[in-house]
Amino acid sequence: MNSLVDYESSSDEERTTNKRRLAEEESAVERKLPKLSSFFYKEEIIMDSQGKIRTVRHKENSWATHIYCTVDLSSERHRWKDIPSDIHEIEEQHISLSRCVFLKEHQLEPFSRAIETSLRNMSRFKISFAQLSQLTNDEATRSFLTLEIGQGYNQLSACQTRIDRVMEQYNLPVFYKPPRFHTSIAWALKASTIDKYISQLPSDTLDDLVNHTFWITRLYIKMGNRVHTIRLS
């Protein structure tokens, strides 16, 4: 009897030892497993509708898409000189006509065709700027020094309305209501920083600029790393 009890006890100890050894081996294998390839975990640089370049988690077959026109203000930068260090200039200016939305790859070509078709009879037009403003993004994480559109607002609105119709067909969010068409020239973390800077600018900062017109002859659809150009008639 005693030997039988001793035998069972010895067997239990062996099973326990074997389980412990197996667990240690599995743990060692897990530690040696390589990290997932970057194919499964990527980040993507996108331009949001306020003009800020930002990094977002990229999902496979998800293309950040944004519709806009550009305006060259390189000769106007002297108007907002002496920008403090907590305000950061934006190098290239654009005017958003859509929110940033996400498409699947198979949607890219039909979507761009639908946008181009919707804008088929739009003629090129001129814009000018009416005022400096402070605008804050949806997440309230950044505020922007912006130039709001004066002349050309109705034409931009007509483009945006046609684009919104296509967005609705794809069950995507439409543009802001009412739209405040603008281009962003700088950003800061706090709205008060932008407000203070605007209040300190000379009153004649925009006197000449409001009389300066810019031609809008093209719209752009940026889809991930692809850019489709739409030429206005």
Q: What is the DSSP string of 68-135?
A: EEEE--GGGGGGG-S--TTSEE-SSEEEESS--EEE-HHHHHHHHHHHHHHTTTPPPEEE-EEEEEEE
Specify the DSSP class assigned to residue 140: S
At residue 128, the pLDDT reads 96
Question: Which residue type occupies 143?
Answer: S
Q: How many helices (H) and strands (E) does the chain have?
A: 4, 13
At residue 136, the pLDDT reads 94
Query: Hey, where are the domains in the chain?
Result: 68-231
How many CB atoms sit inside 10 A of residue 16's CB?
Answer: 10
At residue 49, the pLDDT reads 45
At residue 17, the pLDDT reads 61
pTM above 0.85, yes or no: no
Rounded Cα–Cα distance for residues 35 and 44 (Å) = 20
Residue-by-residue pLDDT tens, the chain, 233 positions: 443 334 344 455 666 566 566 556 555 444 443 333 333 333 344 445 444 444 445 567 889 999 999 999 988 888 877 899 999 999 999 999 999 999 999 999 999 999 999 999 999 999 999 999 999 998 899 999 999 999 999 999 999 999 999 999 999 999 999 999 999 999 999 999 999 999 998 888 888 788 899 999 999 999 999 999 999 99
At residue 38, the pLDDT reads 35
Largest Cα–Cα distance of the chain, in whole Å? Answer: 108
CATH superfamily for 68-231 is: Cyclic phosphodiesterase (3.90.1140.10)
At residue 138, the pLDDT reads 85
